[in-house]
């Protein structure tokens, strides 16, 4: 091979290149091309149809002075912080419980993980039913004698997003638990022996030895949860459709409605660019730690 004349460059490995064409096209046209297209058009005054009449940051100024967008962002923040904190804590605690060399581990795992197989639409509709004030939890507790019991998140604007969060956590914590469990299983058993010989209590071993060792697992979980948070859309559409009023709107829904309902493409592009920006804020430091760190390791 080494002695052979250099064949025409592009023809080397031609089959592989042809086979990889769909991937190359997707990477370049869809992920790079379409993203750039949207960002460029977010600076135009496109309404019903996209057109290249640039208006600078007008769309963004309008976006940030629209009440609905601000509520969406606020909801996303509550939902995001809630799902990060609770998914990580509950996911870890459940994984630690399952890791106690218990019987029926598979059964418990299967039950806790099954919601993850369901769609957000199904999830949202079930929880809409369970949280229904006339028939659901509120009704049952009241019929037990607590007449003044109030638990009606889906029709209370101030807390509606937490009603959505309950459903989201039910659907997603099993997944985080599975990731945490595989992280825990990756920890050397010797660590536990050493800690026991030193007389360190179990909870301290978890908190000060195991969790720091599981940093990569936590980072992975964090990235996956964050990617899920920004995408939250179907759940809200099914459970509350943004209501009551606009109290449970989220950015993804704002984008969809601007693009496909109110013929306000420019707003949709600007809003989606903001979503991209928020992903980059999480993604860039992570990629830097992950890949930058790996290079140094080599």
By CB under 8 A, what part of segment 154-173 binds other proteins?
170
What distance, in Å, lies between the first and last C-alpha atoms of the chain? Answer: 29
Residues 2-21 that bind other proteins (CB under 8 A): 12-13, 15-17, 19-20
Restricting to residues 192-231, which ones interact with other proteins according to CB under 8 A?
A: 220-221, 224, 227, 230-231
Cβ–Cβ < 8 Å for 229, 51: no
Q: Which is nearer to other proteins, 84 or 230 (CB)?
A: 230
Of the pair 100, 148, the CB lying nearest other proteins is at 100
- Binding residues for other proteins restricted to 82-141, rule: CB under 8 A: 94, 97-98, 100-103, 105-122, 125-130, 132, 135-136, 139-140
Residues 66-85 that bind other proteins (CB under 8 A): none
143 is a site residue for other proteins (CB under 8 A): yes
Nearer to other proteins among residue 112 and residue 161 (C-beta): 112
- Site for other proteins contains 191 (CB under 8 A): no
CB of residue 254 vs other proteins: minimum separation in angstroms? 9
Supply the minimum distance, in Å, between the C-beta of residue 38 and other proteins: 5
Q: Does 28 bind other proteins (CB under 8 A)?
A: yes
Question: Does residue 241 interact with other proteins by CB under 8 A?
Answer: yes
Kindly state the number of chain residues that form the binding site for other proteins, as judged by CB under 8 A. Answer: 97
Which range, of 59-67, 73-81, 149-157, 279-287, touches other proteins by CB under 8 A? 279-287
HSE at residue 140, side-chain half, CA atoms within 13 A, is 6
Listed ranges 52-60, 69-77, 205-213, 274-282: which one lies at the site for other proteins (CB under 8 A): 274-282
């Amino acid at each position: 091979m080494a002695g052979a004349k250099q064949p025409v460059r592009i023809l080397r490995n031609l089959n592989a290149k042809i086979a990889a064409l769909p991937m190359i096209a997707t990477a370049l046209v869809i992920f790079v091309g379409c993203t750039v297209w949207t960002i460029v058009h977010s600076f135009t005054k496109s309404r019903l149809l996209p057109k290249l009449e640039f208006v600078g940051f007008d769309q963004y100024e309008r976006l940030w002075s629209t009440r609905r967008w601000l509520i969406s962002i606020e909801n996303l923040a509550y939902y995001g912080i809630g799902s990060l904190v609770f998914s990580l804590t509950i996911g870890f605690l459940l994984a630690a419980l399952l890791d106690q060399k218990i019987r029926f581990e598979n059964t418990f795992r299967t039950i806790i993980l099954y919601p993850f197989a369901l769609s957000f639409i199904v999830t949202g509709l079930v929880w809409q039913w369970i949280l229904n004030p006339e028939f659901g939890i509120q009704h049952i507790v009241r019929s037990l004698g607590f007449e003044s019991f109030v638990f009606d998140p889906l029709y209370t604007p101030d807390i509606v997003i937490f009603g959505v969060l309950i459903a989201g956590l039910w659907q997603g914590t099993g997944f985080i638990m599975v990731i945490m469990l595989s992280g825990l299983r990756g920890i050397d058993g010797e660590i536990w022996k050493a800690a026991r010989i030193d007389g360190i209590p179990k909870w301290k071993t978890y908190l000060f030895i195991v969790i720091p060792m599981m940093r990569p697992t936590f980072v992975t979980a964090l990235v996956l949860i964050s990617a899920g948070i920004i995408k939250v859309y179907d759940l809200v559409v099914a459970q509350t459709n943004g209501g009551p009023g606009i109290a449970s709107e989220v950015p993804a829904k704002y984008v969809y409605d601007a693009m496909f309902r109110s013929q306000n493409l420019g707003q949709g592009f600007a809003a989606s660019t903001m979503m991209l920006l928020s992903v980059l804020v999480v993604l860039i430091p992570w990629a830097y730690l992950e890949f930058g760190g790996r290079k140094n390791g080599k």
